[in-house]
Amino acid sequence: MHCACPNAKYLIRMNLKTNKTTALITCFLLLFIHASAQQKYELFGLRDLTNYWEINATVGANQFLGDLGGNVGKGQPLLKDYKFVANRMLVGLSGTYNINNYSAVNVGFNFAQISNADSLITNTGNLERWRWYRNLSFKSNIEEASATYTFYPVLFLHRKTVELLRFNPYIQVGLGVLHFNPKANLDGSWYELQPLRLEGQGFAEYPDRLPYKRTVIYLPANVGVKYYFNNRWALSAGLLMRKTFTDYMDDISTTYIDPALFYKYFPAEKAAVAEQLYSRSRTPWKVKPGVEKAHSNDKDSYVTFNLTLSIRLDKRLYIYYPKL
């Protein structure tokens, strides 16, 4: 018994040392695992956008989607009546604040043009023929301002492991205000159509037809992909769609009226212009008061295929110079 005691004490001391070593190793491994779980990795040297501003310049091709123009068959909303020849330009400037690496808020202003003409339709004798016979046309400048929210779904899925990806699909929605002013050509001169009241807006004979507003609210929705060349420059390509609440961007919505009313409410010169512009039909004998001029069920809209060049601003400077 006397000889066994020293061995027992030695074994107890060794066991205590082993337990301490095991505990230290376990703590180290737990800390390492926790730190690894929080680690964000740089890919291609791209750094997190959180709290950074970007300045954006946009160019695009606009396509009006309303009552005028279109393709063969019955006119439909969305892109069915998209016709390349009717594209017009858009330019814009905007600012983006990146809340984190997967979401941002944007404010911007665009100047755009839209136009369309029934004469651009290929008349096959199908349902498009009545639009071709109608033979109306218009153009309008548009100034629009918007505030939007951008969401990057792929970055959201990798928000805890990746700072920034090279390719970033995005979805953008928001609220905007736009101003339009439809015009038509008569003998080489362009006339504003809203003051001519071509569908009897404001006339006592049509109490339900009020003069339409040329400044309206719209809802923008933009989908696309953003490519980061480096921590300074990025290029986006997207399709911007708009939900408007007016059917008068092209100045037509309901039915023809009696042209004699123009001379009742306007001076002779203005009435003569209105009479020539309210109908340009290829079949004028069919144009009578109450005959449908356009469908009022669907609101007008326009879409833009756009390219946007973005530059990231340094957090501490008025001009961009990345300290990354």
Instruction: Report the b/e string of 4-43 with b at 16+ CB within 10 A.
Output: eeeeeeeeeeeeeeeeeeeeeeeeeeeeeeeeeeeeeeee
Of 42-56, 60-74, 187-201, the range with the highest mean pLDDT is: 187-201
Does some domain include residue 155? Answer: yes
Does some domain include residue 7? Answer: no
Does some domain include residue 324? Answer: no
Does some domain include residue 1? Answer: no
CA 118 to chain centre: 26
Does some domain include residue 123? Answer: yes
Asked if residues 197 and 211 have their Cβ atoms less than 8 Å apart, the reply is: yes
Least confident piece of the model among 10-14, 186-190, 247-251 = 10-14
Show the domain range for 235.
Answer: 58-312
Confidence grade of residue 84 (pLDDT, cut at 50, 70, 90): confident
Confidence grade of residue 19 (pLDDT, cut at 50, 70, 90): low
Does some domain include residue 2? Answer: no
One-letter-per-residue 3-state SS of 251-263: CCCCECCCCHHHH
> Could you tell me the CATH number of the domain that includes residue 229?
2.40.160.20
Q: Is the pTM of this model over 0.85?
A: no
Please give the tally of structural domains in the chain.
1
Does some domain include residue 238? Answer: yes
Does some domain include residue 43? Answer: no
